[in-house]
């Protein structure tokens, strides 16, 4: 009963501050909505395309930033991706609502939103699979039932089973030795993926995303890596084995940020399934290979979780307002994990020189020893305590002329025994990942 009262009060408040028409948006309507938001907030938004679908539809992204189109040093990049499965549409609509909300509240000088936009570069891709959505929406118009209608892209491919399989490499390396972060793409990867997948991979490689969420439907739970189980059992039989990353505690924390800010996800019982705290390790639920979530983490060290947001993959239009109110605070709080790092998490930001890149590292509270090493340079070690405030570590030194030497940063703490990053100085806008010895 208390949940109903809370939602009712939110409805009244929302009507006062942000009247919005809640409806489903076909492709042309989606594009108009993105440009409408941009026209209303031209100084803090940008619309850009990362590529085209099989049918030639643009994959449009709406960016929020006080300097749109520019990476500001020491300002983290975060992304939301919706509608990867064309028939899972709630994420698409929520991201459009979020876009309108951010714009309107920024114009109203809501200081919470102003801090978010000015301190974080936010990228919103409402639909990764516009072709599949049009198939699903047309089926809804004709009242054609079918759980999977429109799920895949126009070539009939499930985009969340279409990314390069880096899990196989990481599990081999964990057993036999080898890197556990920034795993390279396999040869000829472009010939093995769909146009939408290729566009997203190139997008991920072009921006140094620190945090991400992929919005799905069909359940209500926050899912975190790994998605692929070490034990290859299929859904419907006994549970697959929990397969945690070295950053499992941090991933669980991120998932709980969303589930507990959500109207009912944290309660656990949803859609006939029970998930304690409203979260689950992906592989513990069911194993999938070549998913986007694991790819983000293993290839670029972007911390991505998958948000399953509704029992009904294509909810009725009348349900959209309730769903928005149930997700609005969670969507904002998740973004704030980058903007307000001093609250629950923190990053270590290291500027190699005044002319080169920055990078971010999400860490749980604790004291860390950080060592930077590079050929031709003496190692430098500093200690930092992660907690209140926002630790910043600067390593200074003259950078050699290209080709640059490799720079390695190592972390040690009671939580995570060691972590490292390798890369050229100009490419250090990357998230550092922990190795297998992390506890």
* Catalytic residue numbers, as ranges: 308
- Our CA dihedral for 246, 248, 254, 260, rounded to 10 degrees, sits at 180
Residue 305 Cα to chain centre, angstroms: 6
Between the alpha carbon of residue 380 and those of residues 361, 370, 371, 408, the distances in Å are 18, 8, 6, 11
* Euclidean distance between CA atoms 69 and 65, whole angstroms: 8
**How would DSSP label each residue in 383-437?**
EEEESSS--B-----PPPSSSPPPEEEEEEESS-S-EEEEE-GGG--S--EE-TT
- Our CA dihedral for 392, 394, 400, 402, rounded to 10 degrees, sits at 10
Give ∠ CA 158-164-170 in degrees, rounded to 5. 130
Give ∠ CA 44-45-50 in degrees, rounded to 5. 150
* Euclidean distance between CA atoms 266 and 278, whole angstroms: 4
Residue 133 Cα to chain centre, angstroms: 21
Query: Which of helix, strand or coil describes residue 262?
Result: coil
């Amino acid at each position: 009963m208390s949940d109903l009262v809370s939602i009712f009060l939110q409805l009244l408040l929302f009507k006062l501050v942000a009247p919005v028409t809640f409806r489903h948006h076909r492709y042309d309507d989606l594009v108009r909505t993105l440009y409408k938001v941009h026209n209303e907030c031209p100084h803090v938004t940008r619309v850009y395309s990362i590529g085209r679908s099989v049918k030639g539809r643009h994959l449009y992204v709406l960016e929020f930033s006080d300097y749109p189109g520019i990476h500001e040093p020491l300002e983290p990049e975060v992304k939301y991706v919706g509608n990867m499965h064309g028939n899972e549409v709630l994420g698409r609509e929520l991201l459009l609502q979020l876009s309108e909300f951010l714009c309107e509240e920024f114009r109203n000088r809501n200081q919470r939103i102003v801090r978010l936009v000015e301190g974080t570069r936010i990228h919103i891709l409402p639909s990764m699979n516009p072709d599949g959505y049009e198939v699903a929406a047309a089926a809804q118009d004709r009242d054609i039932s079918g759980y999977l209608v429109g799920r895949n892209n126009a070539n009939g491919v499930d985009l969340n089973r279409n990314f390069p399989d880096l899990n196989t490499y990481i599990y081999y390396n964990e057993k036999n030795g080898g890197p556990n972060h920034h795993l390279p793409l396999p040869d000829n990867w472009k010939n093995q993926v769909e146009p939408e997948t290729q566009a997203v991979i190139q997008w991920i490689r072009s921006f140094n995303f620190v945090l991400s969420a992929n919005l799905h439907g069909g359940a209500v739970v926050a899912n975190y890596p790994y998605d692929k189980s070490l034990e290859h059992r299929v859904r419907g039989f006994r549970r697959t084995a929990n397969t945690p990353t070295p950053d499992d505690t941090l991933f669980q924390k991120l998932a709980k940020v969303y589930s507990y800010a959500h109207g009912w996800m944290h309660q656990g019982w949803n859609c006939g399934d029970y998930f304690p705290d409203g979260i689950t390790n992906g592989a513990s639920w069911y194993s999938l290979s070549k998913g986007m979530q694991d790819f983000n983490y293993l290839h670029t060290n972007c911390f991505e979780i998958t948000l399953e947001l509704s029992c009904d993959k294509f909810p009725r239009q009348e349900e959209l307002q309730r769903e928005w109110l149930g997700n609005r605070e969670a969507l904002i709080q998740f973004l704030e994990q980058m903007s307000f790092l001093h609250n629950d998490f923190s990053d270590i930001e290291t500027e190699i020189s005044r002319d080169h890149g920055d990078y971010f590292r999400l860490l749980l509270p604790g004291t860390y020893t950080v060592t930077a090493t590079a050929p031709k340079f003496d190692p430098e070690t500093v200690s930092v305590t992660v907690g209140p405030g926002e630790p910043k570590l600067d390593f200074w030194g003259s950078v050699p002329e290209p080709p640059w030497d490799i720079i390695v940063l190592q972390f040690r703490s009671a939580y995570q025994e060691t972590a490292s990053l390798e890369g050229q100085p100009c490419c250090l806008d990357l998230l550092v990942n922990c190795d297998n010895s992390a506890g």
